[in-house]
């Protein structure tokens, strides 16, 4: 089954404690992205990657890091989480431009 898998689904952490949210896709897609969803703001792109070792900033990259060492994986790293990073996070992948993006189930992160 074609899917994008994120882990964990839920995470509560404390300010400053580094964390990683994993994302994996099994569709051999070139493009992968991370989004955050906040009330009234919709989905905002954090980072995206158009291929292995190629990443670029989206609209809200501050406080986040990503890496794309393999085609299937695109982890999101918060080196020093802060409460304003409390949000619902989605990973997505696309095969090419002008095709639909497939989304993971989401990770609800709470930073206290």
Write out the H or E segment, with its range, that includes residue 108: strand 107-111
Give the one residue of 34, 87, 90, 109 binding other proteins; rule: CB under 8 A: 90
Judge contact between 75 and 68, C-beta under 8 A.
no
Between 63 and 95, CB nearer to other proteins: 95
Bridge partner residues of 32 (DSSP):
49, 93
Q: Closest separation between CB of residue 75 and other proteins, Å?
A: 17
Q: What count of Cα atoms within 13 Å lies in the side-chain half-sphere of residue 80?
A: 2
Binding mask 34-73 for other proteins (x = CB under 8 A): -x----xxxxxx--xxx-------xx--------------
Judge contact between 103 and 7, C-beta under 8 A.
no
* Binding positions for other proteins, rule: CB under 8 A: 4, 31, 33, 35, 40-45, 48-50, 58-59, 90, 92, 94, 97-98, 100-106
């Amino acid at each position: 089954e074609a899917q994008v898998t994120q882990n964990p689904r839920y995470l509560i952490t404390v300010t400053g404690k580094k964390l990683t949210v994993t994302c994996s896709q099994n569709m051999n897609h070139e493009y992968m992205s991370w989004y955050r969803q906040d009330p009234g703001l919709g989905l905002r792109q954090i980072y995206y990657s158009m291929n292995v070792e190629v990443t670029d900033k989206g609209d809200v990259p501050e406080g986040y890091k990503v890496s794309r060492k393999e085609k299937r994986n695109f982890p999101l790293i918060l080196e020093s989480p802060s409460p304003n990073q409390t949000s619902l996070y989605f990973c997505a992948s696309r095969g090419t431009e002008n095709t639909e993006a497939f989304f993971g189930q989401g990770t609800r992160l709470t930073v206290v």
